Amino acid sequence: MVETTHLQKLYEQDLVAWCDDTAAKLKAGNFDEIDLDHLIEEIEGLAGRDRRELKSRIRVLLTHLLKRTYVKSPDNYRGWEITIREQRQQLRDLLEQSPTLRNEVTAIFPKCWNEALAAVKEDFPNAEFPCESPFSPSINTLLQERFW
**DSSP states along 68-98:** HHH---HHHHHHHHHHHHHHHHHHHHHHHH-
CA 6/CA 18 separation, integer angstroms = 10
Q: What are the two backbone dihedrals, phi and then psi, of residue 107, each rounded to the nearest 5 degrees?
A: -70, -40
Q: Give pLDDT tens digits for 71-114.
A: 999 999 999 999 999 999 999 999 999 999 999 999 999 999 99
Q: 28 lies in a domain?
A: no
Q: 94 lies in a domain?
A: yes
Residue 1 confidence (pLDDT): 41
* Number of structural domains in the chain: 1
- pLDDT tier for residue 4 given thresholds of 50, 70 and 90: low
CA 147/CA 80 separation, integer angstroms = 13
Across the chain, what does the average pLDDT equal?
94
Give the largest Cα separation in the chain, rounded.
66
Range of the domain at 88: 50-144
Q: 13 lies in a domain?
A: no
- pLDDT tier for residue 5 given thresholds of 50, 70 and 90: confident
Q: 23 lies in a domain?
A: no
Q: 109 lies in a domain?
A: yes
